[in-house]
Each structure stands twice: as C-alpha cells, then as structure tokens.
C-alpha cells in the first residue's frame, strides 16, 4: 500500500475499533487506489480519501416488538447513509443475527462503488437489524417490521434514501415496511423502497436481478477469452434469492449448476439442480436444503467441509461475506475452477482473492458482479417516478445492458491503470473515480 492510503487505512482502523469487516472492505478499495492516485494525485487532496471512508450519517435505534406469546424483545436497528454524491442513498436492509455496526458499514461502503458502477445516479447506504426472521410467524415479522419502520421512516424518502432487501429481507418484509411507511406519512411514495410487490409498484426482474447479473458478469468475463458458460459445471453456494436466480440464468445459458447450500449444509446434485423443486422448498415452504434431498433421488446433503470442496469450472459464491477462504480457493483451483463471479457481498476473503489472482483466473468481485440487484432497484425507481411499468423483456434487456457496461468499465479501468484483467482494481478504480469527481465538484461537504 502507498503511504498516503496506508495513513487513511490506519485512521479507519483506529476510529472504527473492532469493525473487522469494515476494515477489510476499506483495505481492499484503498489498496486498489495506489495506481489511481499515482496517476491523478489530486484525488488525495482536500482530504477526499478521509471523507470517503467516513459515513455522512449513521443512525442506530431501538426496535422493540412483541412476540406471539406476549413477550417483549429488543433488537437494534441501523441505517448508515454513507455517500450521497451521486444521488439518494441506496442499498438494502439486512435482518440477520450477525448484524452489527461494522457489518452494515462494510456493506454501505461497498455499496458506494457498486452503485457508482451502475451509472444510474444512486448514492450508497445500507441498514438492517440483528433480528432473525427464521422461525418467526408472519405476525411477528410484521410487528418487527412496523416497529423498525416507525423509526426508519424519519430518515428516508424517494429523493433522500431508498432502502431495499438483502439477507433476511424479501418481498414479505418490504411489504410490511411499505405499509407502515405509507400509514405514518399518509403518502403513497412508491419510490421510497424497492423490491416491492408487482401489484404495488415493484419491477419485473428485480427478484431475479442479482443472481442473473452475477451470471451475466461471468459470461462477459468468459467472452474476453472467447469462451462461454455453455457446458460448464457450476458450483453455487447459498439457497436464497441470489443463488436461486443465479442457477436459473446459468441453466438458461447452457451451464449445469450442481450445488447450493444453507447453514445446515450443502447439496450436491450431479444431474443438475431441479430448479422448480428448489424454488418450492425455499420460496414457497421457507424450508431447509435437506427438504430438497428428501424429494430428489440422486441428490446428497453434505454437512461437513464446504461446498467449495466440490470440483467445477465456475464458482458463484451467493451466500454471505467471507464464506470462501484461502484454503477453499486453493481447493477450487485444484478442482479446475477458472471463473469466480461473486453474487454475495465480499464472499471471498483477502487470501482467497489473492489465490485467484495469482492463479490468473477470471475473478469478478461482488461490487461489480452483484450490482444487477441494485441496478434493477434503480430501474424500479425510474418506473415509479414515471408512473409506468415495463414488461419482463424490457427490464431484462436493460439489466443485461447495464451488466455489460459495468464489465466493460472494469476492463477499461484495469487497462488504464496498468493491470489488464484485474477486475478488483478495475471495479474499485472505476467506481471510485466516478464518486470522487462529483465530490470534488460539490466542494468540501
């Protein structure tokens, strides 16, 4: 790391003690900025780097709610409004017991550059709670969402901050939150949340977008080598929204996804994943991956080791941060993996990224590869603002165009800064310079 960025990193560590995921995300971006600042030293002036690593606003609040047995619970709510240079803060809400300030800050920081890469005029933010929706009744989830939105509603708005889903927040939760927002504000601001239901302002393709996008990004990377996904064996982790639609798009492009996973283990289905069954188990029944194995002859559930022990040509980590470490990366490489496209946010540890890059394989970092979700959220905002609705083909064509542009921007930036094929540097440099140019134009704010 260059001296100037090293100093900024040390300040981040000192000022945000114990927030290891945030440190990791900042380190990865700052490391990429060495060549950018060497070429354009003005980006290090006016404390621009110091400003970009400090959230514009951090909101932390109490979320009390009553369960079905009448017991009162207290969770913690967060919204980190990180950077609004390019537009209203935009980013999801995560409901998961692991959520804390450091996790939300890492996600918010990533979101700044991801959103910049989409070129849709959206700033970066993220929020959530340590609430665990698993095993809770619909009524409990509703009461939690209403309590959460009672505070959050003071801080958001279609031109201010536009939350959406992330892990643990899907259509059901967005629905309960939107209902409460509308009631508190007496205003049908459809554009205040994205990931809405189709009958009340949602966009076609939003559900599919993150998974589709990660696969389209893999396809674009392969095309630089004159290859495609056709006939490739794909290893997927996760079994949520991102994983399910990554599997769908991979199948459409002629590849064979053979795995998926959740916290109870991973499934290997050598014949290729039965997508209808997986959707039934996860989306309709809200069940576990074991339920799939019970109904699918030939599929097996593995409860030790990791899904990355399974050899394949392409890996799509679609579960969560740091799910793929250095050892797993080396195992994947030994198994012949030549492409990794991150559907989740920061799923590969720094050691894993280093191993992939050293091996010279195609590695698409999350902030580029999984930007299809937020990009389609911006398309949802666009439809809401125009009080219009596009059909599936129109929305999907726009998503495909955006993913191609993101890919090409990463390639161009990597070349410009002397590291052709380095998508990590390309994504960070392209995202950063777009935000930094606007921050400079806006003055010291």
- The stretch among 1-9, 89-97, 251-259, 411-419 that binds ligand GLU (CB under 6 A) is 89-97
Q: How many residues bind ligand GLU (CB under 6 A)?
A: 10
| Phi, psi for 69 (deg, rounded to 5) | -90, 0
Q: How far is the CB of 343 from ligand GLU (least distance, A)?
A: 10
Q: Hey, which bits of 158-297 come out as E strands? A: 161-164, 233-237, 256-257, 259-262, 265-268
| Closest alpha carbon to 435 in 111, 211, 178 | 111
| Phi, psi for 288 (deg, rounded to 5) | -105, 165
Q: How far is the CB of 92 from ligand GLU (least distance, A)?
A: 3
Q: Is residue 353 within 8 Å of residue 363, measured between CB atoms?
A: yes
CA 334 remoteness from chain centre: 27
| Closest alpha carbon to 332 in 115, 321, 349 | 349
Contact between 81 and ligand GLU per CB under 6 A: no
- Give the nearer residue to ligand GLU in terms of CB position, either 349 or 377: 377
| Closest alpha carbon to 95 in 161, 44, 55, 147 | 147
- Give the nearer residue to ligand GLU in terms of CB position, either 341 or 345: 345
Q: State which of residues 377, 384, 409, 433 lies at the interface with ligand GLU (CB under 6 A).
A: 377
Contact between 374 and ligand GLU per CB under 6 A: yes
Q: How far is the CB of 431 from ligand GLU (least distance, A)?
A: 13
Q: How far is the CB of 36 from ligand GLU (least distance, A)?
A: 23
- Give the nearer residue to ligand GLU in terms of CB position, either 55 or 373: 373
How many CA atoms lie less than 13 Å away from 407 in the CB half-sphere?
Answer: 24
- Give the nearer residue to ligand GLU in terms of CB position, either 67 or 283: 283
Contact between 35 and ligand GLU per CB under 6 A: no
Q: Which of 105, 126, 367, 398 is catalytic?
A: 126
Q: Report how far residue 168's alpha carbon sits from residue 281's, in angstroms, rounded to the nearest whole number.
A: 16
Q: Is residue 224 within 8 Å of residue 232, measured between CB atoms?
A: no
| Closest alpha carbon to 237 in 133, 321, 307 | 307
| Closest alpha carbon to 429 in 62, 13, 37, 69 | 37
Q: How far is the CB of 400 from ligand GLU (least distance, A)?
A: 17
- The stretch among 84-92, 229-237, 313-321, 394-402 that binds ligand GLU (CB under 6 A) is 84-92
Contact between 21 and ligand GLU per CB under 6 A: no
Binding to ligand GLU (CB under 6 A) within 197-236 occurs at none
Long-range contacts of 37-40 (CB under 8 A, 24+ apart): 37/2, 37/4, 37/5, 38/2, 39/417, 40/433
Q: Which residue is nearest to ligand GLU (CB)?
A: 92
Q: Is 233 a catalytic residue?
A: no
The rounded radius of gyration (Å) of the Cα atoms in the chain is 21
Q: State which of residues 90, 196, 233, 249 lies at the interface with ligand GLU (CB under 6 A).
A: 90
Query: Going by C-beta distance under 8 Å and a sequence separation of 6 or more, which residues neighbour residue 360?
Result: 421
Query: Going by C-beta distance under 8 Å and a sequence separation of 6 or more, which residues neighbour residue 377?
Result: 90, 162, 164, 194, 195, 203, 206, 209
Q: What angle do CA 273, 275, 276 make, to 5 degrees?
A: 140
| Phi, psi for 117 (deg, rounded to 5) | -65, -30
- Give the nearer residue to ligand GLU in terms of CB position, either 170 or 421: 170
| Closest alpha carbon to 214 in 325, 371, 348 | 371
- The stretch among 90-98, 184-192, 259-267, 427-435 that binds ligand GLU (CB under 6 A) is 90-98
Contact between 91 and ligand GLU per CB under 6 A: yes
Contact between 373 and ligand GLU per CB under 6 A: yes
Q: How far is the CB of 183 from ligand GLU (least distance, A)?
A: 22
Q: Is residue 256 within 8 Å of residue 234, measured between CB atoms?
A: yes
- Give the nearer residue to ligand GLU in terms of CB position, either 261 or 377: 377
Q: Is residue 402 within 8 Å of residue 117, measured between CB atoms?
A: no
Binding to ligand GLU (CB under 6 A) within 271-310 occurs at none
Contact between 84 and ligand GLU per CB under 6 A: no
Binding to ligand GLU (CB under 6 A) within 141-170 occurs at 164, 166
- Give the nearer residue to ligand GLU in terms of CB position, either 149 or 361: 149
Q: State which of residues 35, 55, 88, 92 lies at the interface with ligand GLU (CB under 6 A).
A: 92
- Token pair listed for 247: 């599997």
- The stretch among 54-62, 87-95, 218-226, 408-416 that binds ligand GLU (CB under 6 A) is 87-95
What is the dihedral sign for C-alpha 194, 196, 200, 203?
Answer: positive
- Give the nearer residue to ligand GLU in terms of CB position, either 331 or 383: 383
Binding string, 335-364, against ligand GLU, x = CB under 6 A? ----------x-------------------
Q: Contact positions toward ligand GLU, by CB under 6 A? A: 90-92, 164, 166, 194, 345, 373-374, 377
Active-site residue list: 126
């Amino acid at each position: 790391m260059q001296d100037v960025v090293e100093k900024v990193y040390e300040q981040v560590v000192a000022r945000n003690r114990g927030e290891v995921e945030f440190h990791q995300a900042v380190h990865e971006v700052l490391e990429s900025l060495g060549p950018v600042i060497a070429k354009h030293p003005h980006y290090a002036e006016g404390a621009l780097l110091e400003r970009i690593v400090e959230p514009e606003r951090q909101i932390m609040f109490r979320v009390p709610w009553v369960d079905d047995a009448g017991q009162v619970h207290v969770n913690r709510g967060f919204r980190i409004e990180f950077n609004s240079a390019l537009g209203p803060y935009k980013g999801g809400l995560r409901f998961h017991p692991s959520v804390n300030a450091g996790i939300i800050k890492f996600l918010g920081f990533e979101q700044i550059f991801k959103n910049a890469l989409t070129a849709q005029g959206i700033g970066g933010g993220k929020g959530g709670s340590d609430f665990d929706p698993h095993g809770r009744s619909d009524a409990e989830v509703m009461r939690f969402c209403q309590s959460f939105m009672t505070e959050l509603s003071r801080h958001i708005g279609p031109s201010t901050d536009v939350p959406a889903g992330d892990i643990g927040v899907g259509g059901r939760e967005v629905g309960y939150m939107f209902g409460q927002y509308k009631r508190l504000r007496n205003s049908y601001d459809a554009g205040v949340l994205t990931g809405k239901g189709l009958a009340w302002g949602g966009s076609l393709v939003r559900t599919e977008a993150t998974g589709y996008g990660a696969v389209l990004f893999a396809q674009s990377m392969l095309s630089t080598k004159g290859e495609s996904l056709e006939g490739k064996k794909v290893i997927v982790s996760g079994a949520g929204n991102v994983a399910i639609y990554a599997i769908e798009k991979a199948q459409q492009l002629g590849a064979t996804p053979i795995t998926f996973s959740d916290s109870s283990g991973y499934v290997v289905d050598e014949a290729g994943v039965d997508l209808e069954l997986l959707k039934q188990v996860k989306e309709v029944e809200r069940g576990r991956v074991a339920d799939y194995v019970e109904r699918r002859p030939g599929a097996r559930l593995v409860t030790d080791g990791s899904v990355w022990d399974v050899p394949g040509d392409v890996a799509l980590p679609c579960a969560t941060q740091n799910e793929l470490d250095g050892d797993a990366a080396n195992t994947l490489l030994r198994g012949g993996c030549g492409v990794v496209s991150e559907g989740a946010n920061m799923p590969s540890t720094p050691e894993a990224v280093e191993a992939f890059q050293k091996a010279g394989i195609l590695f698409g970092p999350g902030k580029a590869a999984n930007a299809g979700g937020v990009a389609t959220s911006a398309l949802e905002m666009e439809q809401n603002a125009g009080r219009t609705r596009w059909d599936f083909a129109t929305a999907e064509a726009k998503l495909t165009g955006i993913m191609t542009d993101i890919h090409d921007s990463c390639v161009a930036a990597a070349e410009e800064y002397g590291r052709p094929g380095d998508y990590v540097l390309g994504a960070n440099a392209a995202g950063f310079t777009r935000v930094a140019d606007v921050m400079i134009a806006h003055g010291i704010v």
